[in-house]
Structures are given as structure tokens and as C-alpha cells.
Amino acid sequence: MITIKAEQEHYCLLTNGQDWTVAERRAGKYHPLGNCSRPGIPLDTPEAATLFHRRYTEPVARRILDEVATEWRDLFELIR
């Protein structure tokens, strides 16, 4: 079972109880970071395990979540 532990902007910190990763959420579906060209994946399907292609420790995943959300906010403010 995949659980969302934190959210910032369009990004979510996910855990499967053992591993941690960060994914982008769009239209209720999830995309692994850096690979948003493929169709999104609902969290309640077996395919959601592919979101854990990049696995991190919890502290590293939280840092990555902070970094990508900050980058998104900075870019949004720049183009706004």
C-alpha cells in the first residue's frame, strides 16, 4: 500500500512502508520525477510500484521534495 506522507505544490512524498520517493501529481495521477511524458499512474493500481524506480531514505526524500517544490515556486513567480 502506497501512502502520501507530505505534499508541497504538485509534488508528493510517497512511501510503501519500506522505501521513499517523490512523485508529481497531475489530474489525480502520479508521475515519477523527471519522467512526466508517460501517462500518469493512480496510486491504487499495481503499476504504482513503478513510481519507486528511484528509492531514497526518508530524510533524502524529504529534502528532494523541498527542493523540487521550491524550484517550482521560483519558476512560477518568475513567469507570473
pLDDT at 42 over 70: yes
Tell me the mean pLDDT in the region 9-33.
94
Question: What is the rounded distance in angstroms from the CA atom of residue 55 to the CA atom of residue 39?
Answer: 20
Q: Answer for the pair 33, 40: CB distance below 8 angstroms, yes or no.
A: no
What would the pLDDT profile of 50-66 be if each residue is shown by its tens digit?
999 999 999 999 999 99
Burial class (CB in 10 A: 0-12, 13-18, 19+), 23: buried
Please tell me the pTM assigned to this model.
0.87
What would the pLDDT profile of 5-14 be if each residue is shown by its tens digit?
999 999 999 9
In this prediction, residue 72 has a pLDDT band, given cuts at 50, 70 and 90, of confident
Grid cell 520525477 in the structure block, residue: 33
